[in-house]
């Protein structure tokens, strides 16, 4: 390989690292946004009961957050799928990586339940 080829290979590797970090950031940000939308929906639902004169306006805002939460889940799933392909090395050693992978599986099963229940709860609050 020539030095020019090594230079372009290095820039491809840097770009890959940037994309990996950006993907992780977007994944985490969308997760935080989803949780914030759930909190907003809860507050808006309670405010509708407290302030019936503005129920229609608050309902529109509530629906905005609901549909944005659906979008956030789509982004979370898409970027999560991208993360699957970036954690393939045994950085911490084989035994530690096996334990980490088991913990990730357990975490994601738990989070699928949380997202499922949260989506159902938000739907019920928003449209009923």
Residue 4 clears pLDDT 80, i.e. is over it: no
The C-alpha angle 65, 34, 62, rounded to 5 degrees, equals: 15
Tell me if 69 sits within 8 A of 10, measured CB to CB. no
11-47: per-residue pLDDT in tens?
A: 877 888 899 899 999 999 999 999 999 999 999 999 9
75-118: per-residue pLDDT in tens?
A: 999 999 888 777 666 677 788 888 888 898 899 899 999 999 99
Tokens of 116: 């499922």
Tokens of 25: 């950031």
Q: How confident is the model at residue 3 (pLDDT cuts 50, 70, 90)?
A: low
7 within some domain: no
d(CA 41, CA 12) in angstroms, rounded, equals 43
For 119, the domain range is 25-127
91 within some domain: yes
102 within some domain: yes
66 within some domain: yes
3 within some domain: no
Between 3 and 50, the higher pLDDT residue = 50
Domain count within the chain: 1
């Amino acid at each position: 390989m020539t030095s020019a080829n090594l230079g372009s290979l290095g820039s491809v590797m840097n770009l890959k690292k940037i994309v990996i970090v950006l993907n992780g950031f977007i994944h985490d940000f969308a997760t935080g946004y989803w949780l914030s939308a759930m909190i907003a929906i809860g507050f808006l639902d309670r405010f509708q009961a407290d302030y019936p004169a503005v129920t229609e306006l608050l309902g529109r805002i509530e629906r905005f957050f609901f549909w944005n939460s659906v979008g956030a889940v789509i982004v979370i799933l898409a970027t999560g799928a991208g993360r699957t392909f970036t954690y393939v090395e045994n950085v911490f050693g084989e035994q530690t990586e096996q334990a980490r992978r088991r913990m990730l599986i357990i975490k994601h099963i738990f989070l699928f339940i949380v997202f499922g229940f949260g989506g159902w709860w938000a739907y019920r609050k928003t449209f009923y």
